[in-house]
Amino acid sequence: MSNKVIKSHAIAKYIRLSTHKSRRVLKQIEGRQYNEARLMLEFMPYKASKVIIKVLESALSNMSQNEISKNKIDTKTVIVKEAFANKGPTLKRFQPRAQGRAFPIQKPTCHITIKLEI
């Protein structure tokens, strides 16, 4: 391909993970090649890595869809330019406790964004 820069991104919203647990995984793949990032995520023992693999694949798919010439994209040249997680709405629940008390439970959500570039 010529010196044309191809960009794409994918966003997963309302994922039932906390932002700091997602960011821990996203920091590892930021700035790496697609193949390397995908391989790292495969072997990470975190729940977030499964969701992030899906978002990463979606971003790559978006890149091939948005490409004007519709050529097969070489994944060796694709780089994870940005990967971040923003805070989503918190689901508020209550756990019953002794003597009629209620204990609040916060269930965090996050929005994961991955931006790719050739």
Q: Please check whether residue 2 lies inside any domain of the structure.
A: no
Inter-residue contact 63 to 55 (CB < 8 Å): no
Which tens digit of pLDDT belongs to each residue from 58-106?
999 998 887 664 667 788 889 999 999 999 999 999 999 999 999 999 9
Q: Please check whether residue 61 lies inside any domain of the structure.
A: yes
Residue 18, token pair as written in the block: 């906390």
Of all residues in the chain, the percent with pLDDT exceeding 90 is: 78
The pLDDT of residue 68: 60
- 1: pLDDT strictly greater than 60: no
Q: Please check whether residue 1 lies inside any domain of the structure.
A: no
Residue 16 maps to which CATH number?
A: 3.90.470.10
Spatial separation of the C-alpha atoms in residues 53 and 40, rounded to whole Å = 10
Neighbours of 109 (CB within 10 A): 16
* Mean of all residue pLDDT scores within the chain: 91
pTM of structure: 0.86
Query: What is the edge-to-edge ordering of all strands in the sheet holding 79-87?
Result: 7-15, 110-117, 79-87
Residue 74: domain span: 7-117
Number of structural domains the chain divides into: 1
Q: Please check whether residue 12 lies inside any domain of the structure.
A: yes
Inter-residue contact 10 to 114 (CB < 8 Å): yes
